[in-house]
Homo-oligomer: A and B are copies of this chain.
């Protein structure tokens, strides 16, 4: 193995820092070891907090199937781990790697205390069990982050000092890259957690508000699901998926589309007899009440369009602004169909639910009048396939 130390180290480091998945990163490094250094097999045990040990993360090479399965997690108190945790680099060899051959020699010498000899014997046994001739620890600051285990060289030759030095240096870079990747992953996890918290809280509050309207139990979540189905199918039909932002906006918008009903008196929402014109007009205020509740939140700009316009009609006869056809934002047109479908399919204070066939016929009938034909068609397609 001719090693251009500097070049390998630099190009590896260059790649590693931008791999933000620790497992993938370790896979890359282990593959490099096996392929470039022609080692029969190599494996990496990564520290795992929950398991309180070192988990076999990657194993590669001709012999990797032979690693005993019950050793797939090395306990943090295992002798191999303790050896590196307690002695760091200074124990026997003046380098961080532990070479099986040298360890055996050391065992025969007289320099070691009997306690250390016993420990070393265990380590040697452990290494032999894993068919490992070199163990290289990865430290980050004072912490043992992981352990790289290398089998024999394919050529059968012994590892030379230059190679071991290279592996040790490389592994210290690996440790940094792993920590970096872990930090990235933690941050991404935190971001996802925060997003979930936002969505769940919005769902909880929207559901609480919805509960004021005795006839709409579960309406919001059904409208949200149907809207998302329609959007995904429309994306597929247009042969380009909507970007994540549009779907996120639609999700939030569907959840909040009726939020303005909080501003409509309960006795109107729940009235059993038919509504007066004045009462009907109060109900028609709910999109703009919703807009007013949310308008100060700049990030919701896109989502608010759905709240504002989900009662517009394709023929321009809707409210609050009487927008027509393409003037109506797509996000609103999608919610309109989902909203109408669910409203027709549910009991209302003033009428019982229609059956599904009648609802579907009604939506087909109103395509191009109340509904955007593109959205209605997609909806009908999904119904035919039994997806809704």
Contacts and interface: CB of A to CB of B under 8 A. Distances in A.
Nearest to A197: B299
A13 interface: yes
A36 interface: no
A192 B204 CA distance: 22
Could you say which interface size class chain A belongs to? Answer: 35 or more
Contact of A300 (B197, B206, B207, B259): B197
A340 interface: no
A265 B270 CA distance: 12
Given A10-B169, A180-B17, A188-B187, A297 B209 contact: no
Interface in A168-226: 169, 172-173, 176-177, 179-180, 183-184, 187-188, 190-191, 193-198, 200-202, 204-209, 211-212
A17 B194 CA distance: 26
A201 B259 CA distance: 12
Choose among A17, A176, A205, A294 the residue with the greatest number of B CB atoms under 10 Å from its CB.
A205
A129 interface: no
A201 B200 contact: no
Contact of A187 (B6, B184, B198): B184
Given A209-B209, A262-B211, A176 B297 contact: no
A263 interface: yes
B207 A205 contact: no
A14 interface: yes
Contacts of A172: 10, 14
Contacts of A265: 266
A211 B261 CA distance: 12
Contacts of A212: 262
Contacts of A296: 200, 204
Contact of A205 (B6, B187, B205): B205
A18 interface: yes
A293 interface: yes
Contact of A299 (B169, B187, B193, B300): B193
Given A13-B173, A205-B209, A266-B266, 4 more contacts: A14-B176, A18-B176, A18-B179, A193-B299
